[in-house]
Structure 1
Amino acid sequence: MNKKKLIICIAVILLVAGGVYFFTGKSSKGGIKLETAKVSRGSITNTVTATGTVEPVTEVEVGTQVSGIIDKLYADYNDVVKAGQLIAEMDKVNLKAELASAQAQLASSKSEFEYQQKNYSRSKVLYEKQLISDSDYETATYNYEKAKAAYEQSQASMVKVNRNLEYATITSPIDGVVINRAVEEGQTVAAGFETPTLFTIAADLTKMQVIADVDEADIGMVEDGQRVSFTVDAYPNDVFEGNVKQVRLGDSSSSSGSSTTSSTSTVVTYEVVITADNPDLKLKPRLTANITIYTMERENVLTVPTKSLRFIPDESLLTPMDITVTNANMEASAGKRLVWVKNGQNLEPRAVTIGSASGNNTEITDGVQEGEDVVVDFASVANVPVVAETTEKSPFMPGPPGSNKKNNKAK
């Protein structure tokens, strides 16, 4: 019984050794085999990466057109404000004094105007009756026109003073949230050539936009409406979605005369505006975003590895594998490419039409069927057949178990 089991075990070992030799030694002679891939359905995508800054869609800087001291502040960071709501007041002492002076000047000029108007009316009647000289009439006319101009100037000054007094009461121009306050109570602001900013108000933080800087080499692929995904360092595990809203051509009045948004040395970038919803208010103004713009997306299309389109069969490598090649000299017609389909131990060429490509994979519109095996390339394998040991061994080196018995029998 033991002898019978021993014979069965030896037979099994021989069968396993033969299989190893057949699949490793014969079909991959020299450590070479064929790498294949199945024609399958998948997605083809091309992307452009960039960095940008998260910004509110509508952002208003609230300033003042009059110089003075900030008397009261009624809004602070993160406060929700309504359009027309009082958010700050400036000291009005000087402005009220200017108003009083303007009112006095207006009253004086009005009295002078009314007096000269009556004098002019009397002089006109007398002149028509030739009771006064031309010189007297011209003097009356001159004084009337002068008083009239002074009165109109005083009226204009009153409008300006009243408006400056209104400017001292600062209200919110929009509904929104205060995202920046640049002044403190008691601080002096000077409205000269540039209006000083007091507050920055964002209209609606549930709707944000990302201003991305896209390299000039990639901008040609970016179009309005393309899908965008991006992440921010504040929430590294969250992926936010958006769409390209605008590709800005830049300022044509730039010193270089080009249509670039920014240029540093030889690097030219264009601004791309991306809209994004922010319902949970995670996206905050000024966050840095790492952006992926999907410039091309095709779903559920037949794809093959791009390398398979460059494969050329080498019969010197295929013959030891017992693989035959059909129509080895076939050439693709215009607009077609060749792929090699493996059917058992035979390779046959197929002329295919390619569509979109994404680097590693290429879309195939016709010529092959889903599930067929296409040859990608020759590949080396680690299971190279073991060569029988022929080197001479030292008699003093220990051998494997049982080797002493064989030696004794030989003796």
Structure 2
Amino acid sequence: MKNKIILLIIGVLLTSGAVYGYTNFTKDQAANTEYRTVKAERGSLSSHVTANGTVNPVINVLVGSQVSGMIQKLYADYNTPVKQGQLIAQIDPANFQAQVSQALAKVQNAKASILTSEAGIASARSNVEAAKANVSKAKVSVDDTRRSLDRSLELFRRNLISASEKDTSQTAYDSALAQLEAAQAQQKASESQLESSRAGVIAAQATLKQAEAELELAQVNLDHTRITAPVNGVVVSRNVDVGQTVAASLQAPTLFNIAQDLTEMQVEANISEADIGKVAKGQDTSFTVDAYPQAIFRGKVTEIRNSPITVSNVVTYVVVIRVKNPELKLRPGMTANVSILIAQRDNALKIPNAALRFRPEFIKKEAVDQKKSSAAGYKVWVPGQQKIPVPVEITAGISDGTYTEIISGNLKDGQEIIVEVVGNNSKNGGNSSRSSLPSLPGPR
């Protein structure tokens, strides 16, 4: 048992000695290593989000046809300036003119039917008045013959007249009653005819309205054979030729593409979901196009669309950037390499990103600690006694990809910072400046 304890103590002593010796060796090695240093400095620093996009007109109008037919003539071509209402194409109007003529004939027939029906009303009204007069006359005749019959019956009862004279009075009365009934029947028939004539007028008026609606539709279709520019602008593309037939049965075919104003354009940039949270309306942007690689165009973010675009499981959002185009250099469809300014610092304390990537080889644990640091917390290394690197805790801010802002930490303007190893007199000296940089934080 005692032997085991003695062996354990000896092992601990040997291990401690080895560690101590290795540490002294590595520190001696670090003292013999040459480092390249730079100074922390103050200056302007900006952070950007980059993306690709497409240049488009601000207002782009697709001109279509609402009727089917053959293109008879074209009055506009590529790059033609047009005014609102200007004729730019003509569809063969022959069929539509025939439809207008047919509808016009129906309208005229309907109007004639109304006139005929109105004349029938006048005639029926006259017949009704005549029938009423006949009824009144028949009533008077009935009253007269009734009185005559009553007198004849009284005289016959007194044996003052003969039976034949009494029968004559009775016959006259019966005839007057029959004439009254006939006159009343004729009055009813005339009144029915009058109502029928009035209904005929209403039907003729409805037919006229329908014919007028058909005429209006035919006229609208005829007008649609004239394709006019809906806005002031420039024809960007033409999709038809003379003699070509367009079919508007399912949807309006596109004949022209008109850009309203090419002196002001917009770039629709696809921003990744990782960066979209950094983008806001009003941010300044700059971009280049392949046609003018030396020219830098500037604009502002005017819209951030909420609808996502997913391609191959990559989600992006469209950000619209408005830009002036007075020289008309920018053309629809150009690819833009966009840089959006998301943060800017003036007089910021900054260091090269290489300083964040550097860590000494002789301290392995520091590498682990560096990887476990927070999103904005880092260690940089400064020359200490005997040139041995000494860590300094810092908090990083925005980065432009080359320099990073220092928000807080024991680092001063002008202080030397180690960025890489440039030489080592020791055989085992190492340079770990190529180790990967932890993800830099976004703007604060």
Question: TM-score, normalised on structure 2?
Answer: 0.64
Other-structure match for 1:145: 202
SS class of match (1:205): coil
Q: CA RMSD in A?
A: 3.6
Deviation by residue 1:16-71 (Cα, 9 ceiling, x = unmatched):
xxxxxxxxxx9976752344321212333333222221111111111221111211
What is the CA-CA distance between 1:237 and the residue it aligns to?
2.8
**Which runs of 5 or more residues in structure 1 are unaligned?**
1-25, 251-259, 318-334, 387-411
CA gap 1:195/1:248 in 2 versus in 1, 3 angstroms: same
Aligned: 1:298 with 2:345: yes
1:273 is aligned to 2:323: no
Residues 31 and 386, structure 2, Cα contact 8 Å, conserved in 1: no
Whether contact under 8 Å (2:65, 2:254) holds in the other structure is yes
Residues 70 and 314 of structure 1: CA distance in aligned 2, closer, same or farther (over 3 Å): closer
Counterpart of 1:132 in structure 2 is 188
Q: Equivalent residues in 2 for 1:245-256 (5 A)?
A: 245-250=302-307
Say if 2:154 is the partner of 1:154.
no
Of 412, 416, 421 in structure 2, the residue corresponding to residue 373 of structure 1 is: 416
Contact 2:349 2:406 in 1 (8 A): yes
Structure 2: stretches of 5+ with no match in the other structure: 1-26, 133-183, 365-375, 428-444
Q: Rg: which structure is higher?
A: 2
Contact 2:56 2:268 (C-alpha < 8 Å) held by counterparts: yes
Report deviation, 1:141.
Answer: 4.6
Residue aligning to 1:362: 404
Deviation at 1:76, TM superposition (A): 1.1
**C-alpha distance in structure 1 between counterparts of 2:253 and 2:391, whole Å:** 74
8 Å CA contact 1:29–1:384 kept in 2: the answer is no
User: Displacement, 1:236?
Assistant: 2.6
Match of 1:38 in 2: 39
Q: Residues 38 and 374 of structure 1 are in contact (CA less than 8 Å); yes or no, is this contact kept in structure 2?
A: yes
Q: 1:268 to 1:138 in 2, by over 3 A?
A: farther
Matched residues in 1 for 2:239 and 2:219: separation?
26
Task: Please name the residue that 1:84 is paired with.
Answer: 85
Partner SS, residue 248 of structure 1: strand
Q: Which residue number in structure 2 is paired with residue 97 of structure 1?
A: 98
User: Distance between the aligned counterparts of 1:62 and 1:313, measured in 2?
Assistant: 67
Q: Offset at 1:369? A: 3.8
Deviation at 1:310, TM superposition (A): 8.4
For residues 385 and 92 of structure 1, do their structure 2 counterparts lie closer, same or farther at Cα, with a shift above 3 Å needed?
A: closer
1:251-266 equivalence runs, <5 A:
260=308, 262-266=309-313
Residue aligned with 1:132, SS: helix
Q: 1:360 to 1:236 in 2, by over 3 A?
A: closer
User: What is the alpha-carbon distance in structure 2 between the residues aligned to residue 203 and residue 381 of structure 1?
Assistant: 60
Which of 338-347 and 97-106 deviates more? 338-347
Aligned mate of 1:165, from 219, 222, 247: 222
Does residue 215 (structure 1) correspond to residue 252 (structure 2)? The answer is: no
CA distance in 2, matches of 1:316, 1:116: 113
Q: Which AA in structure 2 matches 1:114?
A: L
1:105 deviates by 0.5
Partner amino acid for 1:162? Q
One-letter code aligned to 1:382: G
The structural deviation recorded for 1:176 is 1.1
Give the Å deviation of 1:368. 4.3
The counterpart of 2:259, out of the listed 199, 202, 226, is 202
Encode CA deviations 1:137-170: one digit per residue, 9 max, x unaligned: 6544543332221111111112112222221222
Task: Kindly indicate whether residue 84 of structure 2 is the aligned counterpart of residue 72 of structure 1.
Answer: no
**Larger helix proportion of the pair:** 2
The alpha-carbon distance between structure 1 residues 56 and 29, as it changes in their structure 2 partners (threshold 3 A), is closer
Corresponding residue for residue 282 of structure 2? 225
Residue by residue over 1:222-263, the C-alpha shift from the partner in whole angstroms, topping out at 9 and shown as x without a partner, is 22122222222222333322222111111xxxxxxxxx2x22
3-state SS of paired residue (2:102): helix
CA distance in 1, matches of 2:54, 2:251: 26
Deviation of 1:273 (Å): 1.2
Q: Structure 1 227/167 Cα, relative in aligned 2: closer, same or farther at 3 Å?
A: same
Q: TM-score, normalised by structure 1?
A: 0.69
Measure how far apart 1:188 and its partner are: 1.5
Cα distance per residue 1:72-118 (max 9 Å; x no partner)? 11111111112222212222221211111111100111221333345
Q: Relative to 1, partners in 2 of residues 1:212 and 1:90: Cα closer, same or farther, differing over 3 Å?
A: same
Greater CA deviation, 233-242 or 88-97?
A: 233-242
Residue 114 of structure 1 is matched in structure 2 by: 115
CA distance in 1, matches of 2:352, 2:341: 20
Structure-2 change in CA distance of 1:169 and 1:162 (3 Å): same
Matched position secondary structure for 1:194: coil
For residues 234 and 315 of structure 1, what CA distance do their matches in structure 2 show?
52
Paired residue type of 1:264: V
Aligned to 2:292: 235
Alignment of 1:379-390 (within 5 A): 379-382=420-423, 384=425
CA contact (8 A) 1:27 1:33 kept: no
Equivalent-residue separation in structure 2 for 1:56 and 1:140 (angstroms): 64
SS at match of 2:45: strand
